[in-house]
Chains A and B, each alone.
Chain A
Amino acid sequence: MKPHLIALGAIVAAGLAAAFGVRDAVALDLVFTLLLYAVLGQSWNWISGYAGNISFGHAIFFGCGAYASALMVTHGLSPWLAIPAGALAAAALAIVTGFPTLALRGHYFSIATIAVAAIVDALVRTQPALGRATGFELPIATGWAALQFADKGPYIVLALALFAAVQVATIALERSRLGYYLRALRANHAAAAAVGIDERSWKLLAFAWSAVIASCAGVLYAQYTLFVDPPSTIALGISIDIALVGVVGGIGTLWGPAVGALVYVVLAKGVALELGGSGKGYDLVIYGAIICVIAALRPHGIVGSIVDGLRRRRGALDLGAAATGGAA
């Protein structure tokens, strides 16, 4: 646990330094996006990695937070209320949709998440109260009460706080009973059921928490971008982006989402900046190629491969110790 906390501390420190030291709005925007996607990727990781049910509809929980923010503000309420409101909505949505589907195997669950997301998208587009296709523009305000700032610094501080909280929560998850049961379920469903682990209940818990985390990210996003509509928050493309961040980094690992977010941001923005202007989609080509290569050669993702490598070396050391009849 220590090395993880030290690493986290270092990242937070670096982030704070950037928030208050760097003036370049473009760089700060990249840092914010990076943190946001790291949080979203980690929330996705809880259900798809640790619980093993791969979701392609995770954006709806992100949308819960974003829409909660938009609705609060346009109704004259404090955006801070959006945090509990969005979290409640997201958890409720997760439980209602997870209950029938979490017991499904593999691809059936993934397609169920697509189905649920499509239903949510259709409903949002038809409800005037939810802005339909036009969405919401959040009116400009400034200050902690309004959760909006002219400067990027405070946004990054908030994003860092969220990121740190989520990482600590994930460390806690790995060491908790929930985490233990999830690992057991992933290893062998039948055996786990035989010892009385109720798959549905434990996975619902993980799912609900993952939804809450995504919703918090959504609130922060809405307060930053000041614009919420279906294509930018709950569309299938957003769900896919979130999933790819988790996969590239390493599904089921603590630092996978952060690394995946780094790759995503560097690639998406970097390539767009370098090759931009032609409208040719080169950034998609490179991104797609990288994912293919990782899936084929390093399917556990970047962090996953590192973890595997470490484990193998440790295993070899143990074998060596056993062979020589003593500790290495």
Chain B
Amino acid sequence: MLARRLALALATALTLTAVPLGPTGAADPPDIVIGSVIPLTGSLAQSGAGLRVAQLLAQDLVNGHVSYPLPMVGKSGLPHLGHARIRLVFADSQGKPDQARAAAEQLITQDHVVALIGCYSSSTTATASQVAERYGVPFLNPDSSAPSLTTRGLKWFFRTTPSDATFADNFFQFFGDLKRTKKIVVKKIAIVGEDGLFGSGAGDAEEALAKKYGYPVVSRIAYTATTTEVNAEVQKVKAAAPDVIMMASYLPDALLFMRGFKDQSVQPQAIMAQDAGFIDPNFVRTEGKDAEGIFTREVFSLDIKHRNHAVPLINQLFELRFSGKPLDGNTARDFMGVLVLADAIDRAASTAPEAIRTALQKTNIPGNLTLMPWKNIQFDANGQNQGGSGIIEQIQDGKYETVWPFDVAVSEPIWPMPVWKH
């Protein structure tokens, strides 16, 4: 109890010192206004709430005095702009593409933001970034994974997060590493995913890479996420007898498939999931022992704390502001997104759009100065960060343990997955 109180006091003190107190000078430079388009209402509102908290935390740390091994933190604003403070202004996308468009336009024309950050769901990012392109405003996307976002030839669009193509590639790198270090051979792949943007994007990326690396795809199944049964889907997978099943599902369908695989004794060597339903807290709670051995790609894990000791500290600050919920892949990426923008604006030493854009293009942040398991942050000609990568976790004893890449792993992967217990 006492330890908790002390920790709370310490964290509160840290947070308070992160926010500048009192007047900072005779003539304060005007705030640097950054627009954020995220889903604050609608079905994605839960996620949006967390993103907002993460972005505001980053804003406060940039404006504060306490430094961490993270870019732009603790310098009391942007040094090259007279320690001007950054200020986030939010507009609600409601999770809809046309609303995101309107929100972006509002931020640009009314709030005169120097840059935009957003928008979580890929379809909303698409329209909001198009507005930014038309107005010539830099747009930083920290959290949308549809590969198509960086193949549009846009000049003003920058994305820090890896795309589904990279995440799919992670699976195959994992297989390669398994072969090299443990002589495990994976051949036949089955790809199962819901038929919306998430599932089809992930599935397309996986299928293309499987072809590239020479793994036969023995079954590719798309289903509608709201389906109430998966009898046919399970039978088709069973008939294909894959070594590995790659899944992109939300929670209800993930549960249906797990039940179906168990009942029908579909026993692959491994099930590799693309996040979403498989990392929902209810997944392990409902599946219990049946969830053991499931792999999922993840974007972030507190396990990488040995790469950057800021990870648990930022996590603590975040938990304080967000009812005790820890940082996750989305909030960590959004937190970093604000820092990347601040870094670029500072290097530009200007609020002119073209200057910020040029500065963004020259971004080069080493991975261990981020919260992410990334090599670095460096944008290619399409605005895509080339240094990004995911990690792979496995459910062991009801917990998600990082098992790949091997240099950040905290546990050995269990292969093959345990036999279904009947």
Contact = CB atoms under 8 A, between A and B. Distances in A.
> Is A–B contact present in the complex under a CB 8 A cutoff?
yes
Interface stretch (B67-75, B125-133, B208-216): B125-133
A272 B123 contact: no
Given A29-B105, A226-B130, A279 B110 contact: no
Given A122-B224, A133-B196, A229 B102 contact: no
Q: How large is the interface on B (under 10, 10 to 19, 20 to 34, 35 or more residues)?
A: 35 or more
Interface of A: 24-26, 29, 33, 122, 125-126, 132-135, 137, 139-140, 150, 221, 224-227, 229, 231-232, 272-273, 275-281, 283
Given A276-B41, A283-B41, A231 B123 contact: yes
Given A25-B105, A225-B98, A232-B97, A137 B130 contact: yes
B232 to A, nearest CB: 15
B41 A26 contact: no
Given A24-B110, A232-B96, A277-B41, A29 B102 contact: yes
Interface in B100-129: 101-102, 105-106, 109-110, 123, 126-127
B195 A279 contact: no
B220 to A, nearest CB: 12
B110 A133 contact: no
Nearest to B102: A29
B15 interface: no
B96 A279 contact: no
B369 interface: no
A134 B105 contact: no
Interface string B29-40: 000000000011
Contacts of A275: 41
Interface in B30-74: 39-42, 44-46, 48-49, 52
Contacts of B39: 279
Given A122-B224, A133-B197, A279-B40, A140 B130 contact: yes
B126 A272 contact: no
A58 to B, nearest CB: 18
A206 B45 CA distance: 40
Nearest to B198: A133
A326 B48 CA distance: 69
A107 to B, nearest CB: 22
B152 interface: yes
B40 A134 contact: no
Q: Which 6 A-B pairs have the closest CB atoms?
A: A279-B45, A25-B109, A29-B102, A227-B127, A225-B98, A227-B97
A29 B131 CA distance: 13
B247 interface: no
Given A26-B106, A134-B146, A150-B134, A229 B197 contact: yes
Contacts of A125: 195, 224
B53 to A, nearest CB: 11
B148 interface: yes
B250 to A, nearest CB: 14
A222 B110 CA distance: 24
A180 to B, nearest CB: 38
B45 A137 contact: no
B65 to A, nearest CB: 29
B224 A272 contact: no
A153 B97 CA distance: 21
Contact of B45 (A139, A231, A280): A280
B201 interface: yes
B197 A140 contact: no
Given A29-B102, A229-B197, A279 B42 contact: yes
B45 A278 contact: yes
B268 to A, nearest CB: 26
Given A24-B110, A226-B101, A134 B200 contact: yes
A272 B201 contact: no
B147 to A, nearest CB: 10
Contact of B123 (A26, A122, A227): A227
A132 B196 CA distance: 8
Contacts of B146: 134
